Amino acid sequence: MPGTFEPLPGGGAAVALDDVEISIIRSLAVQLLELIGPGPAEDASGDPLAELFAEGPSEPPADPVLRRLFPDAYSDPEATPGRERAEEQKAYSAEFRRYTENDLRAGKRDKALAVIRSLDALSAASAGEGGAVLKLSPEESQQWLGALNDLRLAIGSRLEITDEDDTDLLYRLPDEDPRKPMVMAYLWLGGLQETLVATLMP
């Protein structure tokens, strides 16, 4: 089981993680949380519905990682022929973003937090043992799957990976390349994600 998810009887998945692996995944999940940022502040009136109806941003994020995590809903205006059509696509994307991005951010925050909490519980239960087997319920498995995907998108964006050919080049990076640790994390998370998907397939 080391390094790969396996299905649990009755649903869910399990994977053996050592202390270093736990620390890496937790650190990446925390960094992702910091990047996504907090949710919209509650209305000064204390109305719990205020956050529910708060409008999000209408412009794409400046950070390329956030642009990858929260892409425009419509095609890239620069790739659309005709200025009028491009402006129309931009307006549609801005409107869609305004009403959906807060919820999308909240969902990604929840998934990252679920990963952090399950790893913290695992570390507490296996203190001094050098690692343990993480067991996830079907719901937790889905949360992990979403978080692993977000982490790979974030790292892939930092590495400027845009297609499969870029991934092939990563395998040939020399050990002294400063991107090597990030590449290794990207490939390792990809393996975890792939085996988790396999456990969730009927």
The larger pLDDT score, comparing residue 31 to residue 126, is at 31
Relative orientation angle of helices 180-200 and 19-36, to the nearest 10 degrees: 90
What would the two tokens of residue 159 be?
């590495």
Please say if the pLDDT value at position 111 is more than 60.
Answer: yes
What would the two tokens of residue 175 be?
């050990």
The pLDDT tens digits for 7-45 are: 999 899 999 999 999 999 999 999 999 999 886 554 445
What would the two tokens of residue 28 be?
């990446």
Mean per-residue pLDDT, 118-137: 87
Q: Give residue 43's pLDDT.
A: 41
Residue where the block lists tokens 């870029």: 166
CA quadruple 173, 181, 17, 33: dihedral sign: negative
Report percent pLDDT > 90 for the chain. 49
Please say if the pLDDT value at position 175 is more than 90.
Answer: no
Residues ≥6 apart with Cβ < 8 Å to 33: 109, 112, 113, 116
What is the model's pTM?
0.83
The pLDDT tens digits for 151-160 are: 999 999 998 8
pLDDT band at 1 (very low <50, low <70, confident <90, very high): very low
